[in-house]
Amino acid sequence: MEKNTFIENFVLPSELMNSSTKNVEHISFGGVSLPHDTIYLDFAASTPLDKRIFEKMTPWMLGYFANAANRTHPMGELTEHALAWARTSIAKVFSVSFEEVIFTASATESNNLLIRGLVEDPHRKRNKIVFCATEHSSIITTIHTLVENFDKKLGIEFAELTVNKDGQINIDEAQKIIDNNTLCVCVMDVNNETGIKQIQLEKIRQLTLKFATILHVDSSQGFARSELIAQGVDYDTMTISSSKIYGPKGAAALIIKKRKPRIKLQAQLTGGGNEFNLRSSTPNIAAILGFAHACIFQKQEAKERIQYYKKLENIFCEELSKYINVKYYASENYKVPGVLTLSFKNVNAMKLLEETKTVCASVGSACKTLQATASHVLVAMGIDLENTLSSFRVSFGLTNSENEVREAAQRLAHSALNLRKKSATLS
C-alpha cells in the first residue's frame, strides 16, 4: 500500500488505519474486538490524535498537573499561564479577543451552555428561539426539552426554519419567523450528516442584525472542513470542537463576542467561578492545550487538508460507480469535501453496515427501530422514508490512504449487492 505522508503525524500506528494491517495487538471489551482489516470512514464523528499534539500534551498530564485556579504555588501559576496561552492562541485563530473564548468539555456542552444560559437569564426580555430543521441534536433536543419542561416557568417558545431539497433555509419563511421577540437564531455553517454548507447564512445574519438578535453558529464541522470560518459570515456566538480537528476529546469552546447589548448567560456549572463565571470546573489543561494546538494546525493546514479530503472523496465515488448505482444527497456546489451521505436503492443502511463489518461508517440515528433510524436531516430536506432509511454517511480523514478508500468502496458495493440477492431470494 502506498505511503500516506499524513499518517506520520498521528499517534495511532499506520498499521491500525490501514486495510492490510498485520501484527497489531488486538484489544477486546465486551466480546468486541477490532478486525485487522477495519477501515475507518467516520471522521466527521471523531478523529485520531495528531502525534504533534500528543507530544505537546504529555508534560501537562505527567508533570505539570496542578489546578490552574490555585495560584498560591508555582505549579498552579504555571498552569494558569498555560491556560492563558491556549485561550490567547485560539482567540487569535478566530480573530476574537481573549475574554470571548469560553472553554467547555464538548460541542454539545457549548451548545447547551448557550441555549440554556440565554433562556435562564433572569433579565431576559425575549422569548423565541429559532433554529434550522437540520441542526445537530444538541441544539434541537435542548430547545425542545426547555420548551416542553419549562415553558410556563421560563415563558419561551421555539420556531423551526425549514429547508429545501438542497438543505438551504427558506428565506421567505425566515423573514416571517425572525422578529423583535427572537432571542437567538441557531444555524450551523456545515451540516454534520451531509456536509452541506448553509449558503443562506449571510441572509440570516442580516435578519438577526435587523432585529438585534443573537446569531449562534455551530461550527464543529465547518471549522474542520472549510477554509472560511462560519462561511465568512459575522456571528455573535459560535461552537468549535477539538475532537473533529485531530485534537483530544474533552475540549471545546463557546465563542461569545462582545456586543451591545452584552450577551448574558446564566452559568450551568457553578462553584469556583471559572471561565469568567460561566463554567466552574477544574480546567483540563492538557486537553485545552492540545485543543489550542489543533486549532493552530487546522488553520495553517486547512487548504492542504481539504484538498486531500476532496481527492479521497473523488476516488471513493469513482470506485463505487464501477459496481453499483449510487444516490448522493448533496450537490458538489453546496457541500464541503470529505463528507458524503449516500444510499443504494432497496438496501437498508443499518443492514448494510452490519453486513460490511469492516467499514466504519454511520447512519443518521443509533435508535434501534427502523422508523427511528430515519435521519431528521434528510427528512427535513424532503427525502422520502424509503431513501432516508437507505442512507448512510461516510467521512474521510487524513489517515485514510487512497487504496484504503478504494477497498472500502468495493466492500460496501459488494455488501449492497449481496443484500439485494438475499432479498430477492426471500421474496
Cβ–Cβ < 8 Å for 247, 217: no
Q: What are phi and psi of 387, to 5 degrees?
A: -70, -35
Cell of 5: 505522508
CA distances to 317, 391, 406, 410 from 322, in Å = 9, 19, 11, 9
Active-site pick, 132, 184, 186, 367? 367
Can you give the three-state secondary structure of 191-244, one letter per residue?
A: CCCCCEECCCHHHHHHHHHHCCCEEEEECCCHHHHCCCHHHHCCCCEEEEECCC
- β-strand pairing of 252-256 with 101-104: antiparallel
- β-strand pairing of 359-360 with 128-132: unpaired
Report the candidate in 193, 200, 222, 204 with the shortest Cα–Cα distance to residue 135.
193
Buried b (16+ CB within 10 A) or exposed e, 152-167: eeeebebbbbebeeeb
Number of H helices, E strands in the chain: 13, 14
The amino acid occupying position 54 is: F
Cβ–Cβ < 8 Å for 253, 103: yes
295 belongs to the catalytic site: no
Cβ–Cβ < 8 Å for 242, 86: no
- β-strand pairing of 237-241 with 214-218: parallel
What whole-number distance in Å separates Cα of residue 162 and Cα of residue 171? 9
With DSSP H G I counted as helix, E B as strand and the rest as coil, what are the percentages for the chain, rounded to 5? 45, 15, 40
List beta partners, residue 101.
Answer: 255
Cell of 305: 487538508
Task: Give, rounded to a whole angstrom, the gap between the first and last alpha carbons of the chain.
Answer: 41
Q: How far is CA 214 from the centre of its chain?
A: 21
Q: Known catalytic residues?
A: 367
